[in-house]
C-alpha cells in the first residue's frame, strides 16, 4: 500500500437543501443517484461541450456535516467556485472553496478499506487507482497509517501509477477549454452519464457519442529510450499526429489523431516524439476502436 498527498488538488464544498439538484443539472455525471461513501467523476463544460474543469464529487454523511465535496485541480478551484456561484441564481446552496484547509490524499496498492481521519471514497474512474481521502493535510500521516499505507514524500509515485494505467490528468495531458470529454476518455472512465437529464454542453457530447465522431483521443504510449519531453509534437514520418503528455518510467500519454496514427501503422511508418520512437498500448478499459483494429471490440 502506498499513499501520497496530492499537492495539485483543492477542495470545494457545495451544501444546502438544493445542492444535489443544483449540481446534477450542471455536470456530466449523475449526482442525483450519488450516495455517501461513493463518488462521481464529472466535468463542467462550456455550452459548446468543451471541458472547463474536471473533478470528482463525493457526498458526506450527515455525521460529517453533509454536503458535496468536490476534489478539483487546486489551480482551478477559484474558477470553479466562481462559475458555480454564477449558476447559483436563487438556488438554496452554499459554495465554499476550502482548499486552504483541506487537501486530497490518494491511496493505492492492496485492497484498502477506510479511515476515520477524513472523507474517504473509491476513485470512480478505475478501481486500480485506489482510494482518495479529503482531509486536513497535517493528518495525512495518521490517515495513511490507518489504511496500512506508507506515505510517500511527494506525488511522483502516484503520477507514475496513474500514467501506467493510462488515466489522463488535466493541464498535463490536455488543455482545459480546448478538448471535448470524449477526447480525454471521460466517456470511457465513467465521467459522462448519457442517460441522465440535461447538463451544460450535453447536446454536443451526446452527438459525439451517437455519431462516433471522436477522432482524437488520449491514449497510453510506451518508449524504450530516455523520456521525450511532455508537450512535444508526436509525428509519423514528417506528419504531425498529436502531442505528448505526461511520461514516467517508460510509459506516457499522448493526445493523438487516431485515424492518422492508424494510417501510419498500416504503412509501417514509425511514430515518435522528440526523435524518440513511441508505441501505442491499448488499456484494458478502452471500448473505442484502437488504431490497427478492424472492428470495434465486443
Reported as a single tens digit per residue, the pLDDT across 92-122 is 999 999 999 999 999 998 766 667 778 999 9
Q: Name residue, grid cell 457519442.
A: 209
In whole numbers, what is the pLDDT of the chain averaged over residues? 93
Domain hosting 296: range is 215-298
Query: Does some domain include residue 171?
Result: no
| CB distance 93 to 18 below 8 Å | yes
| CA nearest to 54, candidates 161, 205, 156 | 205
Query: Does some domain include residue 140?
Result: yes
Q: Identify whether residues 91 and 149 lie together within a single domain.
A: yes
Q: Of 45-49, 73-77, 195-199, 283-287, where does mean pLDDT reach its minimum?
A: 195-199
Q: How far apart are CA 123 and CA 120, in angstroms?
A: 10
pLDDT at 136 over 70: yes
Cβ-proximal residues to 136 (8 Å cutoff; 6+ apart), any chain: 101, 102, 103, 118
Q: Identify whether residues 119 and 259 lie together within a single domain.
A: no
Q: How many domains is the chain built from?
A: 2
Query: Does some domain include residue 90?
Result: yes
Max CA-CA distance within the chain?
61
b (16+ CB within 10 A) / e for 15-35: bbeebbebbbbbbbbbbeebe
Q: Which of 165, 199, 226 is the last residue of a domain?
A: 165
> What letter does residue 224 receive in the DSSP assignment?
S
Model's pTM, two decimal places? 0.93
Q: Name residue, grid cell 493523438.
A: 256
Helix (H) or strand (E) holding 216: strand 216-223
pLDDT tens per residue across span 178-202? 999 999 999 999 999 999 889 999 9
Query: Does some domain include residue 10?
Result: yes
Amino acid at each position: 500500500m502506498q499513499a501520497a498527498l496530492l499537492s495539485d488538488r483543492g477542495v470545494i464544498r457545495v451544501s444546502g437543501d438544493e445542492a444535489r439538484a443544483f449540481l446534477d443539472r450542471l455536470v456530466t455525471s449523475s449526482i442525483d443517484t450519488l450516495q455517501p461513501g461513493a463518488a462521481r467523476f464529472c466535468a463542467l463544460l462550456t455550452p459548446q461541450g468543451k471541458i472547463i474543469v474536471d473533478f470528482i464529487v463525493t457526498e458526506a454523511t450527515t455525521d460529517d456535516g453533509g454536503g458535496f465535496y468536490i476534489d478539483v485541480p487546486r489551480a482551478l478551484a477559484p474558477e470553479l467556485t466562481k462559475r458555480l456561484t454564477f449558476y447559483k441564481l436563487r438556488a438554496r446552496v452554499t459554495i465554499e472553496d476550502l482548499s486552504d484547509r483541506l487537501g486530497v490524499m490518494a491511496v493505492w496498492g492492496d485492497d484498502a478499506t477506510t479511515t476515520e481521519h477524513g472523507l474517504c471514497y473509491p476513485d470512480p474512474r478505475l478501481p486500480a487507482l485506489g482510494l482518495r481521502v479529503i482531509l486536513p493535510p497535517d493528518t495525512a500521516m495518521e490517515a495513511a497509517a490507518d489504511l496500512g499505507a506508507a506515505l510517500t514524500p511527494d506525488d511522483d509515485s502516484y503520477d507514475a501509477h496513474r500514467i501506467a494505467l493510462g488515466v489522463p490528468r488535466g493541464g498535463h495531458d490536455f488543455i482545459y477549454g480546448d478538448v471535448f470529454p470524449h477526447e480525454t476518455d471521460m466517456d470511457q472512465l465513467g465521467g459522462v452519464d448519457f442517460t441522465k437529464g440535461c447538463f451544460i454542453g450535453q447536446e454536443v457530447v451526446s452527438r459525439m457519442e451517437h455519431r462516433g465522431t471522436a477522432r482524437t483521443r488520449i491514449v497510453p504510449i510506451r518508449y524504450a529510450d530516455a523520456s521525450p519531453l511532455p508537450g512535444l509534437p508526436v509525428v509519423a514520418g514528417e506528419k504531425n499526429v498529436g502531442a505528448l503528455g505526461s511520461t514516467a518510467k517508460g510509459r506516457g500519454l499522448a493526445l493523438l489523431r487516431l485515424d492518422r496514427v492508424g494510417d501510419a501503422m498500416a504503412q509501417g511508418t514509425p511514430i515518435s516524439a522528440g526523435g524518440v520512437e513511441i508505441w501505442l498500448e491499448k488499456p484494458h478499459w478502452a471500448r473505442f476502436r484502437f488504431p490497427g483494429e478492424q472492428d470495434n471490440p465486443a
